[in-house]
């Protein structure tokens, strides 16, 4: 029997090793994938879209919402960042929603895992703002920057 060249045998061995290693994550993490981030459930009845769709497309939806709001003045609440934060706020030890600085923040759960930068909260509040209601409970309030922008729009003076 004729022997194959050593280089060819090494190539075949390397390819077979790579194939086996490529299958390990699939078979090694059968069942509950513990390596994926654990996301807290939202507080509403249902999300504005299917969970799998939101996981794949939330950034596109937020960008379209941003463009419609900022460029066209349309304020559709379906994919508003405020709506997301009101439903997906995670409480800290003090019972108040955590900010994006906390690794427990809903958005950070996946963004840290995927090593994706969140720039939403450079301008927007990263948790729902709360104010006391007449009944004594806490209710979401608009951030100060939103009120300032509205006043500037009504008076015609630029925002400071």
Run of H or E including 129:
strand 129-132
Helices (H), the chain: 6-28, 51-72, 81-88, 106-114, 144-155
pLDDT at 155: 53
Per-residue pLDDT of 25-47, as tens digits, reads: 554 455 667 777 888 888 877 88
pLDDT given at position 25: 57
Q: Which residues of the chain fall short of a pLDDT of 50?
A: 27-28, 139-151, 159-160
pLDDT above 70 covers a percentage of the chain that reads: 68
β-bridge pairing 138-141 and 129-132: antiparallel
State how far the Cα of 80 lies from the Cα of 66, in Å rounded to an integer. 8
pLDDT at 30: 56
Specify the pLDDT at position 2: 66
Q: Where are the chain's structural domains?
A: 35-126, 128-160
């Amino acid at each position: 029997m004729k022997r194959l060249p050593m280089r060819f045998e090494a190539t075949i061995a390397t390819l077979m090793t790579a194939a086996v290693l490529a299958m390990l994550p699939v078979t090694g993490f059968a069942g509950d994938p513990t390596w994926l981030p654990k996301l807290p459930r939202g507080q509403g009845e249902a999300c504005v879209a299917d969970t799998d769709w939101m996981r794949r497309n939330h950034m596109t939806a937020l960008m379209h919402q941003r463009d419609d709001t900022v460029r066209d003045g349309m304020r559709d609440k379906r994919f508003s960042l405020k709506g997301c934060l009101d439903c997906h706020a995670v409480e800290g030890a003090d019972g108040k929603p955590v900010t994006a600085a906390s690794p427990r923040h809903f958005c950070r759960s996946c963004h840290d895992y995927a090593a994706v930068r969140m720039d939403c909260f450079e301008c927007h509040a990263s948790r729902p703002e709360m104010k006391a209601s007449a009944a004594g409970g806490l209710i979401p309030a608009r951030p100060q920057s939103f009120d300032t922008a509205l006043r500037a729009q009504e008076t015609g003076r630029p925002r400071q």
